[in-house]
Amino acid sequence: TVSIVLFTSDLRLHDQPALRAALDATDAVVPLFVRDDAVAEAGFAAPNRAAFLADCLTDLDHSLRERGGRLVIRSGDLVEEVCRVVTEADADEVHLAEGVSAFARRREERLREALESEGRRLFVHEGVTTALPPGAVTPASSDHFAVFTPYFRKWSEQHLRHPLGAPRTVRVPDGIGSEKVPARGDVRGVSAGLAAGGESEGRDRLTAWLRRDAGAYEDQHDDLAGDATSRLSPHLHFGTLSAAELVHRARRKEGAGPAAFVRQLCWRDFHHQVLAARPDASHADYRAREDHWRTGRDAEQETEAWREGRTGYPIVDAAMRQLAHEGWMHNRGRLLAASFLSKTLYVDWRTGADHFLSLLVDGDIANNQMNWQWVAGTGTDTRPHRVLNPVRQAHRYDPDGAYVRRWVPELAGVEGKAVHEPWTLEGFDRAGIDYPEPVVGLSEGLDRFRRARGRD
């Protein structure tokens, strides 16, 4: 007997319930990945994610080969390709991790119908993409939590599935054709500093980070230059690491650092459960705006300056340049850059979210859109009118200016606190620096925001 394991956002062998169930059920298994045309058509296959994905598939194929198997890769319409492989392998069943996005769920339904019409069965495995599946904890009066803290409290009380080890052997039937495994080098337009992908890389990073850095996470996660966060987000996005395993491993360590890390992992589940309950929040405001709120200004020139990292606010520009160079940005940078666009410039959050998605290697709809909405004040923030002051934040989270000097080389020679306020430099000190004046004054931005929100 043969079964198919369809890999989607779970490109790993450890803690892989779909693979484990398939191996238990049948003599041979076809590990399948389909490069779904619909993902590219939706504009979601940005170069940085395509390159990281190529690493993940290469590593997955390698790990399967070490166990006597291999990865089968196809492209096209996912449902049609799975049905084709099912016929070729004469498989009885297909195993798949439950999708948490609306897109994945629609696709799952189509797949179920297509397989059942041919007398084959689809098994969907829950709690693989997130630590707890959306809907696993709900408040008494609603289908999802709209506020993080009570969600976190309930989430923390839940029993998490115990993570599974990787299988030792995987027997794949002969004669199933596969495309060549894509290589990162085949993808154009990739950020020069993009991190490497793949389960092996993710596991090494996780182990090293938990051993070396997790202890200091609580104190240092907001220090922009210290770069002390785990950088595991792309691995969570592609599922090269399991969220449940991360929670288990962090909980085994004592102290405030690992506990704070688990809390951040809960944010990921939180946003997923919001979006699962309100799929329209991927593009529509989660909270209906008060009538007098305008959707945002049309400020193409200022927006372009923001995209290019030349707003004249060094901390914002540093963050935007890190994004362009690495396809990743520090969380504090994301908060500052998003607040600057959506509040100081008062540009619609969707414009910023689209730009982030075109570059972020960890870019996913739930975390990106819901964080953008949170910052813009249209989402789940309980203080939607707060505005982050980029200068004050810069002094606080980049006190020595090292982050700015790293990413904005024009300012590398500026000494002291002026690195965060180059407009205060005068005469000779200013003359030699090819760096723009601020696109907008902070008080002007604040006034406009307050007027727009009727807070005058």
| Interface residue list for ligand FAD (CB under 6 A) | 221, 229-233, 236-237, 261, 264-265, 267-268, 271, 331, 334-335, 338, 356, 360, 362-364, 367-368, 371-372, 375
| Nearer of residues 187 and 265 to ligand FAD, judged by Cβ | 265
* Minimum CB–partner distance for residue 369 and ligand FAD (Å): 8
- 22 vs 270, beta carbon nearer ligand FAD: 270
Tallying the residues shown for the chain, one arrives at 456
Q: How many angstroms separate the CA atoms of 177 and 74, rounded?
A: 9
**Are residues 187 and 46 in contact, defined by beta-carbon separation less than 8 angstroms?**
no
Q: At 110, phi and psi to the nearest 5?
A: -60, -40
Q: How near is the Cβ of 202 to ligand FAD at its closest, in Å?
A: 11
Of 268 and 405, which has the nearer Cβ to ligand FAD?
268
Angle between helices 390-397 and 331-339 (to 10 degrees): 170
Extract the tokens encoding 344.
């100081």
103 or 267: CB nearest ligand FAD? 267
CA-nearest of 152, 136, 142, 52 to 100 is 136
Residue whose token pair is 């529509």: 284
Q: How far is the CB of 150 from ligand FAD (least distance, A)?
A: 17
Which DSSP letter does residue 410 get? G
Helix or strand (DSSP H, E) at 96:
strand 93-97
Minimum CB–partner distance for residue 237 and ligand FAD (Å): 6
**Pick 28 or 337: Cβ nearer ligand FAD:** 337
**Neighbour-count burial for 73-95, b at 16+ CB within 10 Å, e otherwise:** bbeeebbebbbebbeebebebbb
CB of 122 or CB of 244, closer to ligand FAD: 244
Tell me phi and psi for residue 74, to 5 degrees.
Answer: -130, 165
Least distance (Å) from ligand FAD to the CB of residue 269?
A: 8
To ligand FAD, the closest distance from the beta carbon of 453 in angstroms equals: 19
In the bound complex, what is the minimum distance in angstroms from residue 109's beta carbon to ligand FAD? 25
- If the CB atoms of residues 42 and 412 are measured against ligand FAD, the closer one turns out to be 42
Q: How many angstroms separate the CA atoms of 1 and 93, rounded?
A: 9
Question: Both tokens of residue 185?
Answer: 């080098």
Place of tokens 């993009």: 194
